[in-house]
């Protein structure tokens, strides 16, 4: 259990430092908005690395928006959750507003700053916790298409089956806790407030 995201970020930074990422050349930290950017800021500062972001969006299932029927990446590519049992046509239509939100966030958070060139770099994708891993997989697969050299996904907590799933898409999965009794990311934080767009822009120091 962590007090807040800053506490978890400090713990995650120490583990990444122990793995040799502090000050590592050609390495960048990418936070997953919104909450993951607060963790990523702590990690980037502690490891003396630049910070940017990767934006993907969950597509909520019909009648159960908290359940991921799919995810969409910045290029508009849709990743389906076969367990959601939704049709391709429905999923494509539902992805349209979510893709628009991905593009809006990328523009709002960077304040006109261009996206970094990731080709050949070591990329640390940081979130505040990962549940099913569907949106994380979308982020990882999109980053592979950018020519990343070494791809790491790092979060304070995720369930064991998600760790196994993400190992298929990342070169390395770094996690502090992988409890069998996982139900929601927020259960592992004493304080887990929602962040605003302004919070994310401030943390990125882009505006």
Residue-wise pLDDT tens digits, 30-54: 999 999 999 999 999 999 999 999 9
Rounded to an integer, what is the distance from CA 46 to the centroid of its chain? 19
So where are the chain's domains? 5-55+114-204, 58-108
Contact in structure between 153 and 166 (CB atoms under 8 Å): yes
Please give the Cα distance from 90 to 111 (Å, whole number): 33
pLDDT per position as a tens digit, 90-136: 999 999 999 999 999 999 998 888 899 999 999 999 999 999 899 99
- Binning the chain into helix, strand and coil, the percentages to the nearest 5 are 40, 20, 40
Q: Which CATH architecture has domain 5-55+114-204?
A: 3-Layer(aba) Sandwich (3.40)
Please check whether the domain covering 58-108 is classified as CATH 3.30.1310: yes
- pTM here is 0.94
């Amino acid at each position: 259990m962590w007090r807040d995201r800053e506490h978890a970020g400090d713990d995650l930074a120490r583990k990444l430092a122990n793995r040799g990422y502090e000050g590592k050349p050609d390495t960048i930290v990418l936070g997953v908005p919104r909450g993951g950017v607060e963790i990523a800021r702590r990690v980037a500062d502690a490891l003396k690395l630049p910070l940017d972001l990767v934006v993907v969006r969950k597509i909520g299932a019909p009648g159960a928006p908290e359940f991921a029927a799919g995810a969409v990446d910045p290029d508009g590519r849709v990743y389906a959750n076969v367990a959601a049992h939704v049709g391709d046509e429905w999923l494509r239509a539902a992805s349209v507003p979510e893709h628009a939100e991905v593009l809006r966030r990328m523009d709002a958070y960077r304040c006109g700053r261009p996206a970094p060139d990731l080709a050949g770099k070591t990329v640390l994708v940081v979130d505040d916790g990962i549940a099913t891993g569907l949106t994380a997989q979308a982020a990882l697969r999109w980053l592979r298409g950018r020519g990343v050299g070494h791809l790491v996904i790092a979060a304070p907590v995720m369930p064991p089956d998600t760790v196994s799933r993400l190992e298929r898409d990342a070169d390395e999965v770094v996690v502090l806790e992988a409890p069998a009794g996982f139900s929601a990311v927020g259960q592992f934080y004493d304080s887990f407030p929602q962040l605003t767009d302004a919070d994310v822009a401030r943390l990125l120091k882009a505006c």
